[in-house]
Amino acid sequence: MAKTGLHDDCALIGMAESDVGIVPDKTPRELCVQVTLDAVRDAGLTLEDVDGLITCNAFAEPIMYHAEAVAEYLGWQPKHCVTVNTGGGTTFMAIKMAAAAIAAGMAHTIVIAMADSLRSHMTREQAMVVQSSSGHPHYEQPYGPTVPAYYALLARAHMDRFGTTEEHFAYAAVSCRAWASQHPKAQKRDPISVEDVMGSRPIADPLKVLDCSLVSDGGAAVVITRGDRVSGSKQKPIYLLGYGEGHAYEHISQASDLTTSAAVMSGQAAYADSGLTPNDMDLLQLYDCFTPALLIQVEDLGFCAKGEGGDWLASGISQPGGHKPLNTHGGMLSYCHPGNPGAMFGLTEAMLQLRGQAGARQLSGINTALCHAQGGIMSSHATLILGNEDPS
């Protein structure tokens, strides 16, 4: 059946990740170049077969014309070349923009590549300041909020409104770590308990350091191609079944609702686009920059009723062996979080799982995955639904 979206007729056919975690020997640009080449090779192609490049900028090495600089480094003159930046949601918006560019005839095969080195090529203070600079320069930043503080404001409001507890948030960190312990590349692999999270160093009450995502280096890339070029792919193609966005505000002090996010809008749009429901999702790859963000997404994307995200996480349903596996690479809480590229690893993991290449943590009988990312402070959202069966 023909679908109405712009993405109906293309598929993800290649992917690559760099080393992740602490990778001091490469600059962000070098990581971006590496994953571009590796993703194209994974697809069984060469750069001559690819005519588009989409990247996002790097905090640790900002470049005015980033995508062009990456192409130049490779001695490559792609037909379509653009840098995008919508915070953490960049990844999935870039996938949609690539699909739209393909539908518009701007390119037939596009690499989307992102990398940054917040860990090794910035000081801790630089990394904190550059990230908190998302706050309003006149009406937020002068008061000294940190990014954890912004999310702590959401956490406190959720606790007050729904009776959510600090332990509920801790279960999100425990779940992601349980998955990461099965991933040989994860930056943090030692299993943790709720007590470990509760006893970890306070950062911005009620958040402790184990409620916060990692600061990492790393990059990842994917290759998307037009439908008529999918057959004969080297790898099992992964299809874009649905997409949605939601944009509620930019600055947290302008949010009309602190406990329900525009993930509701983006999720509903993606479900409508795909004709699928939350029950149909075999794998959830959500944006776990901080544990409360993960809890709120679980609710807003319809995996439990509003206010019950804490009980959902505490039930173990998202952990290895549970029937709603969540962030099977370990998420940004335990796998890696190099900044804007953070959600790329949610996408590459979903592709590995849908291809059946996830090694020891491979899920059985998986056909669909929901990938979600948000930018700002739960401000702008993008949801991508993927499948490993041709929908046409």
Partner 1 sequence: MSRPIPRPSPTEQPFYEACARGELKLQYCKPCTRFLFYPRTHCDRCHSPQLDWEQVSGKGTIASYTVVRRAVSEAFTAPYIIALIDLAEGPRMMSQVINAEPDALAVGHTVSVDFAAWSDEIKLPVFRLQGVPSEAGPSHHADSEGKT
What does the binding site for partner 1 look like in residue numbers (CB under 8 A)? 125, 128-129, 132, 136-146, 148-149, 152-157, 160, 201-207, 252-254, 258
Q: What is the Cα 66 distance to its own chain's centre? A: 20
Extended strands (E) in the chain = 10-17, 52-55, 80-83, 109-117, 202-204, 207-208, 217-226, 238-247, 283-285, 368-375, 380-387
C-alpha dist (Å) from residue 28 to 59, 244, 338, 346, 366: 9, 29, 10, 19, 33
Peptide bond into 292 cis (omega under 30): no
Phi then psi dihedrals of residue 97, to 5 deg: -65, -35
Extended strands (E) in 252-389 = 283-285, 368-375, 380-387
Phi then psi dihedrals of residue 82, to 5 deg: -155, 145
DSSP labels, 192-221: --HHHHHTSPEEETTEEGGGB----EEEEE
CA separation for the pair 385, 240 (Å, rounded): 6
CB of 215 to partner 1, least distance (A): 13
CA separation for the pair 35, 41 (Å, rounded): 10
CB of 206 to partner 1, least distance (A): 8
CA separation for the pair 198, 208 (Å, rounded): 7
In the bound state with partner 1, the residue whose beta carbon lies nearer, of 65 and 249, is: 249
CA separation for the pair 136, 159 (Å, rounded): 25
Name 179's Cβ contacts closer than 8 Å, sequence gap at least 6. Answer: 319, 320, 325, 326, 327, 328, 329, 330, 331, 334, 361
In the bound state with partner 1, the residue whose beta carbon lies nearer, of 84 and 258, is: 258
CA separation for the pair 344, 337 (Å, rounded): 10
DSSP labels, 152-199: HHHHHHHHHHH---HHHHHHHHHHHHHHHTT-TT-S--S---HHHHHT
CB of 251 to partner 1, least distance (A): 8
Nearest CA to 351 out of 213, 212, 207, 237 is that of 237
